[in-house]
A and B are shown apart, each in its own frame.
Chain A
């Protein structure tokens, strides 16, 4: 297939989208009034005509809000991408969105209804707080783009876990937040427009004022400094403005993903190079995309009678585009993790540590097996029925912990990035998404085996997609990571939308999604155990590869390592173990990130020792989280995955601040 050059196809596509929008407006105007009705409302507004009233109060504000949101999100994305020199930096990838959601949830729960606080304030505080956290963490690493993105992802995961936990506990109070979370644009007055326009004008003017010094950042920090620029201040102003814009939009209409990534991407492909023009052009492109998505959403929403959020549509349109963008772009070398100062490296004997960890693991397992709570309080029981109930879940937690620790170590070694983890590759989100979609589409509560089967299929689909996308770049680690991040961001967005449909099954799924061990049977455990043992053994046997691949392409291949083959094999191992763990106990987060880190913190640096230490630690934390989840909120239970995310997240933040 010989494709037309991009400079020609893209403008054609944009013009096509614009004409489609015009056509759609003809169709979606209330009472089939089309453009003529709109014209009448705009130029000759008659308040006594109920049709015109409806158009004036619902349809026009919706158009306006779509334009404004699209424009602003695209501008925010453009600024973030320029300042961070990273083509996938965007409001959603930096954790602003999930922070705003947390703020919203907390606001609904803890601010008394009598206090008539506009709901965007808690959301704004949440969003801003999260981004400050992300930046504080990334500042330790000198704002290296990949660190920034990864800390954004990790914070998102952490906050997502907190959100889910709150939603499990306060299920009834929070159903409205689900819908809000997915970006619904429907309006019933001009109030929103009036509220956000002045708020948005402040950062826009700030950006306009600093655009000249901002453009000099293209020279790189040090050069830009020498021509008399205060680089830090400029960056701070630019990023603060971008975050402010995002927080305002998120608090008003919810999370609308992808515009912030896609619109600046299109603009760059169109060949707009000057920054000011780039900002304006991507704003216009963003407005057009959101209008288009919204126009597509309206008829579907009207036909099904459901309140379909527009964010759903942008995710569906944006995800494939983003992947295509990632696939055709070449990445600047700055995207690689930057060199860092040598950490405090020390020697520690391996054997004593191993013994200590083993003892701890065995004792915590026995604790979990025999100690629990009953209606009267704490209880120590050696009782066949209880043991029968508890053994499989403890073993499930144990092996899942081991499996995730192995994948985490593999990914971190492979990508040479200490913040990578299995969740980031999107494999577990893939499993989760297929499951959610199947439940929603077929509307039946699927049983355990279908659950495992469908989860596996989803994970395999994502794996083959990453494989296919990675082939072009010979599985270069940073591409692999970025592709995974893009994929999992897309999948998460779609998942959030599916959840907003508010069906009965959703809360059951939520439990699975948070990594529960309740449903684990002996059969599951045996599959998991065999799988983890086999793949884990392979990983341990290949420890020499793992040591070498961390040296990077050049040196690894100069000692005769077939780097392409090695990357492929390691990737297959990662995918296999992640799929197993995800299918059986859900997309657990953080153990994969945490365990290898803890092993390093315990001074086990070679691949072999790190792998084994991480396995023991992963099992330890999982069993502990499982047990705590069982007793803390008795007689209800917290999923082990959630608790381990919280333990892991807290530890991660501590680690990053150290």
Chain B
């Protein structure tokens, strides 16, 4: 994830985006293509939700460009999409974990890049917030056509909200495919190194893994 987001430079090989090595992009160009949310977003002292979201317009306007009515509309739209309209003048530091995460997602949305990278976006959240956030991301993915790449540890969540799963172990890809291809007893055993069993979701019929 850090290689994809250019936080770390590859020691060998290269990462290509649209047939161009990502190291060759200028910072702002790259930000227009790829937005990244780190696992632990930084502490933001004295920044309101609205200000945070407007940071997302930086790659479009740079240090000096005026924010036009259109930029403001994008910012409002992003805030609305994550459902933080009532909180837009609150300070990010005073929000709860789930709300804070949503504020950051709104910033990524305002950035309007084609691809979003999320590094364990749900790790600090309880199950209802996890669901809320992943459902939101999935909806944005479907409605706006965003490419979303995220790291998740919960296989059931990953299967429910993704089109394509890649399992990594010690830096190697050990399995990949659609959720239905991945949710098989032998594949799961290969991934987790332990025996997992499956049952059908009583309503949707999707396979759910559990520890037998």
A-side interface residues toward B, CB under 8 Å?
339-340, 342-343, 345, 347, 541-542, 544-545, 547-548, 550-552, 554-555, 557-562, 600, 605-606
B44 touches A551 (CB 8 A): yes
Given known contacts A551-B44, A559-B56, is B51 in contact with A606 (CB within 8 Å)?
yes
A560 touches B51 (CB 8 A): no
Inter-chain pairs besides A340-B43, A547-B47, 19 sampled, C-beta below 8 Å: A345-B94, A347-B89, A541-B63, A550-B44, A550-B45, A554-B36, A554-B42, A555-B41, A558-B5, A558-B35, A558-B37, A559-B107, A560-B27, A560-B28, A560-B31, A560-B32, A562-B27, A600-B46, A606-B51
Once bound together, how far apart are the Cα atoms of A559 and B41, in whole Å? Answer: 13
A560 touches B36 (CB 8 A): no
* A interface footprint on B54-98 (CB within 8 Å = 1, 0 otherwise): 011011000110000000000000000000000001010110000
Chain A min CB distance to B86 (Å): 15
Once bound together, how far apart are the Cα atoms of A455 and B106, in whole Å? Answer: 49
Q: Among residues 1 to 60 in chain B, which have CB atoms less than 8 Å away from a CB atom of chain A? A: 5-7, 26-32, 34-38, 41-47, 51, 55-56, 58-59
B91 touches A548 (CB 8 A): no
In the complex, chain B residues whose CB is within 8 Å of the CB of A606:
46-47, 51
A345: contacting residue among B7, B26, B64, B93, CB under 8 A: B93
5 contacts between A and B (CB under 8 A): A342-B91, A345-B46, A347-B89, A559-B31, A560-B59
B122 within 8 A of A: no
Chain B min CB distance to A415 (Å): 13
Most A Cβ at <10 Å: residue of B44, B51, B59: B44
B111 within 8 A of A: yes
B55: contacting residue among A340, A345, A554, A559, CB under 8 A: A559
B46 touches A560 (CB 8 A): no
A559 touches B93 (CB 8 A): no
Chain B min CB distance to A473 (Å): 16
B-side interface residues toward A, CB under 8 Å?
5-7, 26-32, 34-38, 41-47, 51, 55-56, 58-59, 63-64, 89, 91, 93-94, 107, 111
Which chain A residue has the least Cβ–Cβ distance from B39?
A: A554
The 10 tightest CB contacts between A and B, nearest first, are A560-B31, A605-B46, A560-B59, A342-B93, A560-B28, A558-B36, A552-B42, A345-B91, A562-B27, A554-B38
A558 touches B45 (CB 8 A): no
In the complex, chain A residues whose CB is within 8 Å of the CB of B56:
559
B31 touches A541 (CB 8 A): no
B89 touches A557 (CB 8 A): no
B42 touches A555 (CB 8 A): yes
A558 touches B31 (CB 8 A): yes
B42 touches A560 (CB 8 A): no
Once bound together, how far apart are the Cα atoms of A339 and B50, in whole Å? Answer: 22
In the complex, chain B residues whose CB is within 8 Å of the CB of A555:
38, 41-42
In the complex, chain A residues whose CB is within 8 Å of the CB of B30:
560
In the complex, chain B residues whose CB is within 8 Å of the CB of A562:
26-28
Which chain A residue has the least Cβ–Cβ distance from B104?
A: A555
Which chain B residue has the least Cβ–Cβ distance from A604?
A: B46
Once bound together, how far apart are the Cα atoms of A21 and B69, in whole Å? Answer: 75
Given known contacts A547-B51, A554-B7, A605-B46, is B35 in contact with A559 (CB within 8 Å)?
yes
In the complex, chain B residues whose CB is within 8 Å of the CB of A558:
5, 31, 34-38
In the complex, chain A residues whose CB is within 8 Å of the CB of B27:
557, 560-562
Once bound together, how far apart are the Cα atoms of A578 and B152, in whole Å? Answer: 48
A557: contacting residue among B6, B29, B43, B51, CB under 8 A: B6
Which chain A residue has the least Cβ–Cβ distance from B60?
A: A560
Once bound together, how far apart are the Cα atoms of A340 and B45, in whole Å? Answer: 9
B58 touches A559 (CB 8 A): yes
B42: contacting residue among A551, A559, A600, CB under 8 A: A551
B58: contacting residue among A347, A541, A544, A554, CB under 8 A: A544
B64: contacting residue among A343, A541, A552, A600, CB under 8 A: A541
A548 touches B36 (CB 8 A): no
Once bound together, how far apart are the Cα atoms of A343 and B38, in whole Å? Answer: 24
Which chain A residue has the least Cβ–Cβ distance from B58?
A: A559
In the complex, chain B residues whose CB is within 8 Å of the CB of A559:
31, 35, 55-56, 58-59, 107, 111
In the complex, chain A residues whose CB is within 8 Å of the CB of B44:
550-551
Chain B min CB distance to A84 (Å): 22
Most B Cβ at <10 Å: residue of A342, A550, A558, A605: A558
Once bound together, how far apart are the Cα atoms of A50 and B42, in whole Å? Answer: 72
Chain A min CB distance to B51 (Å): 6
Once bound together, how far apart are the Cα atoms of A345 and B32, in whole Å? Answer: 32
In the complex, chain A residues whose CB is within 8 Å of the CB of B45:
342-343, 550, 605
In the complex, chain B residues whose CB is within 8 Å of the CB of A542:
63
Which chain A residue has the least Cβ–Cβ distance from B47?
A: A605
Once bound together, how far apart are the Cα atoms of A557 and B34, in whole Å? Answer: 11
Once bound together, how far apart are the Cα atoms of A542 and B28, in whole Å? Answer: 16
Once bound together, how far apart are the Cα atoms of A465 and B34, in whole Å? Answer: 37
Once bound together, how far apart are the Cα atoms of A562 and B59, in whole Å? Answer: 10
In the complex, chain B residues whose CB is within 8 Å of the CB of A550:
44-45
B94 touches A342 (CB 8 A): yes
In the complex, chain A residues whose CB is within 8 Å of the CB of B58:
544, 548, 559-561
